[in-house]
Chain A
Amino acid sequence: MKLWLVLALILAGALALAACAGHEWASPFDLVRALAGDADMRSRLLLEWRMPRVLAAALVGVLLGLGGAVFQGVFRNPLAEPYLLGSAGGAALGATIALLVPLGATQSLLLPLLAFAGAWGATVFVIGVSRVAGAVDAAGMLLAGVAVAAILGALRSFLMLALSDDAVSLQVVLSWVLGGVQTPTWAVLGLFAMISIACFGLTMLLAGGLDVLGLGETMAIGFGLEVKRFVAWAVLAGSVVVAAAVAFGGLVAFVGLAAPHIARWFVGPMHRPLLPASALVGACIVTIADAIARAALPPAEIPLGLITAVAGGPFFILLLAHRLRT
């Protein structure tokens, strides 16, 4: 119980710090004034722009943490990344279409929707391909994911080359692909929060099955788990979670990998405590990384994905080295 309190307090601190951070730092007093409905331009900036952005970043972290925990559980591979199943490539393609093809609808609505559709479609496609190819095991799915990701990446590059013009430059797409949290309106943020809660509930339904699956496929079947069906559902649920994260946060690397690991140090590998802990850790990571992205190099904003990759890459290498040595 104390552990959860500590995690929650760390997250609260990160959120407050991130709300203050920016090109011009705000004081906690400024935040209170903005919340009280002050009409000054700066207060409106804090209320209408920075706070939704900070909360959206935290939710993106929640989803990446959940998605990472689910994928690592399904593939029983602590190096599994939510993005290996093509969902990243699919989401990026969807976002590219939203950004470059004039479809008439407002972009703030279209981009998350198409990114979501792309991520989900790509994952379903990967599962389908691996099934047709007869590779229903984890390695087969990962390989199919790599192949599909390559195809989707090429399609995206072609769209970027062919359709970019003065109105929509490559850099918009690029910045999205490099990761960056969308700043939702409060209404959209509410929707995002509900999606996140639903995703949390969905993944918690998988917790028991993931634990049994972690005993190995033979034991899991012996223990009565319908392994093939469960894996298919869990992959689908995991990609829904990742798709939601990608739709609002672009491609943010390594959080889905790192958050479950750090959470395991706190609560161990059982999924019922691991999933919420991973969500909290992910929220802390993305909130802080996003604050750095906004405040480190004013007036520019560093793409969030670059920060998490620079911090997460070495983490991944350490894990790999540790795993190869033991």
Chain B
Amino acid sequence: MTVLSADDLFLRRGGAGLLSGISLSLGPTGSVAVVGPNGAGKSTLLKVLAGIVPPTTGQVRIGDRDLSRLSGAVRARQIGYLPQYFEPHWDLTIADLVRLGAERAGRLTKGTVEEMMARFELAPLRGRRWSTLSGGERARVLLAMVLAVDPPALLADEPAASLDIRHRIDVVRSLVRRATDRLCVVVMHDLDLAFRFFDSVIVMDRGSIAATGHAQDIFDDARLDAAFGVRFERLKMGHYFLLRPACL
């Protein structure tokens, strides 16, 4: 059973092909890391899958329904999207931001906001404004906003890229934890974290999928080296998978 699938996606912008012929099919549960070099089309793919950007040709389906035919509100209840970069135009309070997250699917109860605030340890910050928060706090707020509706599929674009290592691990853990009964697709820059925490990995290169499969299998796949244009030395230490680029 698939919950999110793509069928021969192409996206062209001003003569450049950003995505070329991507097809994939993702089940209702599991954590998926999307990796690849800069410009491979990871963020673009995520935006198309989330319905933020319509593909030039091809189709994204959620369940058996064409994503482009769904109303915004219905889509938002099915797919949560966590952007790489988020800066609200108005300096809202944390409570207001989380409330906007909960409100969007029309299931705002007094409890929802409080529950999300408690879950992400934001209660002490509720009256603070966005501009006064640290990077780690901002990441937690963003998660609380997006997860307030508890969507069956969550697409996250390097949500932890700018954080220090401890906060990065915290964020990745809280995303992967959802994957036991939800679908969770995350663009990952940090390959070690990708192979350590995620069930499966999609390797992208120049707008196409170069390889896809279980994390352990991809770890050993030479197409990984080809996509990144380096030769990796592979170290396995128990649960830890480490990739070290060898000198060129």
Residues of A in contact with B (beta carbons under 8 Å apart): 76, 208, 211-212, 214-216, 218-219, 221-226, 264, 268-270
Contact = CB atoms under 8 A, between A and B. Distances in A.
24 contacts: A76-B89, A211-B96, A212-B100, A214-B92, A215-B88, A215-B89, A215-B100, A216-B88, A216-B89, A218-B83, A219-B86, A222-B52, A222-B76, A222-B81, A222-B83, A223-B76, A223-B101, A223-B104, A224-B72, A224-B74, A224-B75, A224-B77, A226-B72, A270-B96
Contacts of A215: 86, 88-89, 97, 100
A214 B79 CA distance: 20
A280 B105 CA distance: 31
B121 interface: no
Give the residue among B81, B83, B91, B104 with the most A Cβ atoms within 10 A: B104
Given A224-B104, A226-B72, A219 B92 contact: no
A17 B87 CA distance: 43
Give the residue among B77, B89, B91, B103 with the most A Cβ atoms within 10 A: B89
A269 B90 contact: yes
Given A215-B88, A224-B105, A269-B91, 5 more contacts: A216-B88, A218-B81, A219-B83, A222-B50, A224-B73
Contacts, number: 67
A309 B150 CA distance: 49
A113 to B, nearest CB: 36
Contacts of A219: 81, 83, 86, 88
A109 B235 CA distance: 84
Contacts of B90: 76, 214, 264, 269-270
A212 B52 CA distance: 14
B92 A268 contact: yes
Nearest to A264: B90
A211 B90 CA distance: 9
A204 B101 CA distance: 19
A53 to B, nearest CB: 35
Nearest to B81: A222
Contacts of B77: 224
B30 interface: no
Contacts of A268: 92-93, 96
A219 B52 CA distance: 9
A91 to B, nearest CB: 28
Contacts of B50: 222
Interface in B54-83: 71-77, 79-81, 83
A76 B90 CA distance: 8
Nearest to B52: A221
Interface string B132-151: 00000000000000100000
